[in-house]
Chain A
Amino acid sequence: MRFAQRISVRCSDPDALLELLAEWDAGQSRSEIMGYIGTRLLADRDDPGAYMILAEFAEVDGDITAADEAAGNNQREETERWATKLRELVEGEPEWIHYDELYRTGITGNLRTR
C-alpha cells in the first residue's frame, strides 16, 4: 500500500516553493532508492496563496511499509533541512496530514496497459 503525505501551506512566492521541490527531487533522483517516489504541488484556485504539497511513498524492500518508509524519511537530516527551508518560505506552520492510499486509477496513468 502506498502512502501520501499532504503538506498544506500558505505562500506568497510559489516560484520559490517550486524551486525548493525541484531541488529536492534532483537530489533524491541521484540518491539510493528509498520510499519517496515523487511530489505534486497544487495551487488552490479558490484560495489564492494556498498550496498543497503531496509527497508520495512506496515500498522498497517489501517488508517495510510505505508509511514506515515515510517515517524513516522524516528522520533524515536532509529532510529536516528541507522542512526548515519550507518553513522559511511559508506563512505560519505547515499542516502535515498522512494518508494510506486505498485506490489509484489504472497502473500509472501513462503506461501501456493492454
Chain B
Amino acid sequence: MRAEGSETSVPSSDDAILIARAVATAIRPETGLETTQVSLLGAVIEALLDVRVDLDSLDPLQAEELAQTLAGYSDELRQRVVHLMVLGELVLRPIPPTVARRVAAYADELEINDQFVRIARRYAQGGFGLAWLDLHQSGFAEHWEMARMDQLKTTVKLEHQLAAGVEDRALADVWAAFEHHAPGTLGRGIWDMYRGRGFGLPGSIGGASPYLAQHDFVHVLADYGTNLNGELEVFSLIARADPDPKGFAWIATLIGLFETGYVADAGFFSGDLEERRLESPEMHSRIADALSRGRVLCDRVQTDLLELDYHALADRPIGDVRAELGFEPKSPSATAAGSPGAFDLAGMSKTQQAYSASLDT
C-alpha cells in the first residue's frame, strides 16, 4: 500500500490486483459474474492497470479494504475505479438492485460522489427516463457549459452538446474546403471519410453538429471505423482521454444505445439493438485498447479531444498530427481482434458500404 498523501493515480501491481478483486466483488450478481463482465472487465483492467486477472476466480475484497488500499491515491484514481465498477454493472440487463446498491456502497466508502453510480441505480430501479435526464444533465450539459467553442468554426450557438446540427453556410464552406487539402492530410482525410460515406457536412442540411463532428477527426486520427463497433471504440478512447471523469458519459451512453437499450435515443445516435456488440471477446479487446490509448492521450494532451481545434491541424499530414498529439498505435491484441481502420470497408456499416460502392460504379 502506498503512503497517504502520495496522491498518485498509478496503482502498484499489488494494488491493481486488490482493485480487480474489489471490482469483481462489487459487480457480482447473486448468480455469479456474467461472461461479458469477466471478459470485458478483465480486458479493461489488463489494459488500464497492467495486470492480467480472471475476475471470476478472485477472492472478494470488501469496500472498507479497498478504501484502505486506495487511501493514498488521488481522487481521480478512486473515481476511475468506481467507473470500472459502473462499467461492470452497465452491461447487465437488467441491473440487479443489489449490485447497484453494492457499487454505491463502494463509492461511498471511497468518498466518491459520482453521478454514474446514481444513474446505474436509476437503471436498476427501472427509472430509465429519469436516468437519461440525469445522464444528459450531469454528463453532457454541465460539461458543455464549461467547454470552449472557438474550435468549432461556427457562430451559431448550439443549445447543448448533443443538439442536432443546424444550417450554417459559412461552416459548411469551411468543411467543404477540406476537399482541397493534399491527400494524406487530416483535412483531406476527414473530407474523404464524409464523401465516402455520404455524411452531410456540418453546417449543411442534415449534417452533424460541429461539436459532434469533432469526433470524426478522432476517427481519422485513431484509425477507427464508423460502424457501431467503431463508434464504441472511438467514444471509449474519447471518454478516457478526457481529463474530466465526466467523459465516462460517452461510454455509458453508447452502451445504453447499442448494447442494453437503457438509452433509446441520444439525439446524435438512435438506439440499435440488432446485434450483440459486447458479447465477443474481440470487442472487449478493442474497447480495452481504446481506453488504454485514451489514457495515454489524457496524460499527453490534458484536454478533452472534442475541444481541440482540428481545423488548425487540417493541412498537416495525419501521421504528424498523431505524433504531435500523442496517439499510440492500436495494440497487437486490438489489431488481432479485427479492429478495422477508418477507411476499411469492414469499418463501415452496411448502409455506408452500399453508399461507398455506389461511388465506385
Give residues in A with beta carbon < 8 Å to B: 2, 25-26, 28-30, 32-33, 36-38, 56, 58-62, 107-108, 110-113
Contacts and interface: CB of A to CB of B under 8 A. Distances in A.
B94 A30 contact: no
Contact of B94 (A33, A37, A107): A107
Given A110-B264, A112-B260, 16 more contacts: A2-B126, A29-B130, A30-B138, A33-B118, A37-B122, A37-B125, A37-B127, A38-B130, A56-B127, A59-B125, A62-B97, A108-B94, A108-B128, A110-B128, A111-B93, A111-B94
B104 to A, nearest CB: 8
16 contacts: A2-B126, A26-B137, A28-B130, A30-B134, A33-B122, A36-B127, A37-B126, A37-B127, A58-B126, A58-B127, A59-B125, A60-B121, A107-B126, A108-B128, A110-B271, A112-B259
Size band of the interface chain B makes with A: 20 to 34
Given A2-B126, A38-B127, A59-B97, A29 B134 contact: yes
A111 B125 contact: no
Nearest to A69: B125
A88 B149 CA distance: 41
A29 B259 CA distance: 23
Interface string B14-25: 000000000000
Interface string B233-259: 000000000000000000000000001
Contacts of B98: 62
Contacts of B133: 25-26, 29
Q: Is the interface of A mostly helix, strand, loop or mixed?
A: loop
Contacts of B128: 38, 108, 110
A25 B98 CA distance: 25
A89 to B, nearest CB: 22
Nearest to B122: A33
B31 to A, nearest CB: 16
B183 interface: no
A59 B129 CA distance: 16
A33 B98 CA distance: 15
B211 interface: no
A95 B128 CA distance: 27
Contacts of B262: 111
A48 B350 CA distance: 47
